[in-house]
Structure 1
Amino acid sequence: MMKSTELTTTEYSPLPVYRIRRNAGPDYFEDNLIEEVPVALVYNGISHAVLMSICTNLEDLAVGFSLTEGIIDSYRDIRDMDIVPGCSGYEIQIAISPRCFQRLKEKRRSMAGRTGCGICGAEELDHVVREQPCVGNDLTIDPATVEMAFRTLEDHQLLGQATGAAHAAAYITPAGELVAVREDAGRHIALDKLIGYMARHQLQGGAILVTSRASFEMVQKTVSAGIEALFAISAVTRMARNLAEESNLTLAGFCRPGKMSVYAHPQRLGADAGLQGDH
């Protein structure tokens, strides 16, 4: 079982807040605000993306983002990494294999010069809806095990408890053991950090829990990590369900005490898991 780590002042800061309440007079109190900073990802000297993140587990973020965005194919494609603090954030300088860097440059050239919304035609959509492999069929997990893991996860959401502004992503074994948790203000960032940690420690064979909705991108990232099941505490989108169905991913939403709604591939949850739970 994993151990919780202590929060630091880099993750949140206490600030005075003016509070207005209907049945009481206004007052000031101290609230904890999550600390987001810009994080620039630079591949072989070329700046590619700037993400907003808390400034912990940045190596996990760089690895996870690189994998889930298809920039690299495996952790071995990263040759070196330096995290350089700046005046307002961090720059992560990532050296990747020549093969992956050439592919990244070709993708950047194909997207250069486009105007408008950026996602308004078949060519642009190809960059969003990437071809995904199907995940395997090795996982069996009991719904009661998932419920127990979500209860355990609550005790490890330290940043969420301190600020009320953080999402969590967690990796569990088929037996429900909580192995790793990553929190961040952005649900995608939390998931990328978790997947990066999983890649660095070669974790396979379990499932992912998220304390958010399961959108298309969350399913895409889970599939890219080779994980067979994604359990979300909130809703599932239609596009997420379709991708999960195509990719052989077990996808469940509204995972609450005593119920869940299984939207794709319920077979991993047992013969009686095909019914849709109440929201």
Structure 2
Amino acid sequence: MPEPAKLTRFNAIARDGAARGIERAVAVERPIAVEFNGIGYAVLMATPADLDDLITGFALAERLIERAGELAELDLHPTDRGVIARATLIPERAARVADRVRHRVSESGCGLCGIENLEQALRPLPRVTATSDAGDAACFAALSALRDHQPLNRATGGVHAAALAAADGTIRLVREDVGRHNAFDKLIGAIARGGLGWDGGLALLSSRCSFELVEKAALANCPLLVTISAPTTLAVERAGEAGLRLVVLARPDTMLAVP
């Protein structure tokens, strides 16, 4: 499997015109071709690390499975151009793959067009039933500690992180990726595969709060989602529909809680 970072040569140019050759780590981004039950489903542009977690979290977010154990088998095949991920779902979930592929084919041809595809894009979300005991102090504590749990970002400065934090803000688990969606899928997949729970804690993302991330949180029954950057209107609306607590623009000195 390719390494998540690669040393790359650059010319460092100063404002006074002085230049020197340097090497620095650059985050690796590779296409991950995902197949479910032998059907080509999607190509994810991702960091080639924790791919078992990524595919599990992606399958959960796509509503193809409801728990990690329903992904019966996963084989990863590195190639010169990327990685082929061949996943087999339990027979009871095979129909979901065929149904979603039908919708994805129409989406890829002309964008999200027609009533049916709009309904697929904004399918009803389950209500979040988990609760969080994390207060404001815990959110600030998790935010302060996150940097120490981002080794790939420290090396490259170019990846997102998704963290599971305890009710007191202690960081329990982190996944990193060049894509913010991938990082969250990896975290959710790792939680599912490890049999972990939110346990009154929260999810912290080093990104803006888009509606896709809100939906991933709701589908994972996450009780509190904290993001470093701003939300979109649809993210706020979808969080309200799902009963998901949302904190955005989380900075060292302030954050915004969505009422």
Q: TM class by shorter-chain length?
A: over 0.9
Partner of 1:69: 62
Q: Where does 1:102-121 land on structure 2 (aligned, <5 Å)?
A: 102-112=95-105, 117-121=110-114
Partner of 2:244: 249
Partner of 2:205: 210
**1:118 touches 1:124 (CA, 8 Å); kept in 2?**
no
Moved more, 83-92 or 244-253: 83-92
Partner of 1:3: none
Superposed displacement of residue 31, structure 1 = 2.1
Equivalent residue for 2:148, pick from 150, 155, 165: 155
Q: Where does 1:36-185 land on structure 2 (aligned, <5 Å)?
A: 36-112=29-105, 117-136=110-129, 138-185=131-178
Identity %: 35
**1:34 touches 1:165 (CA, 8 Å); kept in 2?**
yes
Amino acid at match of 2:41: H
**1:41 touches 1:50 (CA, 8 Å); kept in 2?**
yes
> CA separation in 1, counterparts of 2:106 and 2:174?
39
Residue aligned with 1:183, SS: strand
TM-score by length of 1: 0.87
Superposed displacement of residue 122, structure 1 = 2.2
> CA separation in 2, counterparts of 1:115 and 1:66?
19
Partner of 1:226: 221
Amino acid at match of 1:94: A
The structure-2 alpha-carbon separation of the partners of 1:25 and 1:69, relative to structure 1 and needing over 3 Å to count, comes to same
Q: Where does 1:185-196 land on structure 2 (aligned, <5 Å)?
A: 185-196=178-189
Moved more, 64-73 or 118-127: 118-127
Superposed displacement of residue 240, structure 1 = 0.3
The structure-2 alpha-carbon separation of the partners of 1:114 and 1:215, relative to structure 1 and needing over 3 Å to count, comes to closer
Q: Are 1:26 and 2:19 counterparts?
A: yes
Residues 16-70 of structure 1: CA deviation (Å, up to 9, x unaligned): 1123332342332222211111111111111111111111100000100000111
Superposed displacement of residue 115, structure 1 = 6.9
The structure-2 alpha-carbon separation of the partners of 1:114 and 1:150, relative to structure 1 and needing over 3 Å to count, comes to closer
The structure-2 alpha-carbon separation of the partners of 1:9 and 1:113, relative to structure 1 and needing over 3 Å to count, comes to closer
**1:17 touches 1:28 (CA, 8 Å); kept in 2?**
yes
* Structure 1 stretches of 4+ moved >3 Å: 110-117
Amino acid at match of 2:145: T
Q: Considering only aligned residues, what root-mean-square deviation do their CA atoms show, in Å?
A: 1.8
**2:130 touches 2:221 (CA, 8 Å); kept in 1?**
no
Residue aligned with 2:258, SS: strand
The structure-2 alpha-carbon separation of the partners of 1:225 and 1:17, relative to structure 1 and needing over 3 Å to count, comes to same
Amino acid at match of 1:234: S
Residue aligned with 1:56, SS: coil
Partner of 2:231: 236
Structure 1: tracts of 5 or more residues without a match = 1-7, 265-279
TM-score by length of 2: 0.93
Amino acid at match of 1:123: E
Residue aligned with 1:259, SS: coil
Moved more, 31-40 or 217-226: 31-40
Figure out how many residues of one structure are paired with residues of the other and give that number. 257
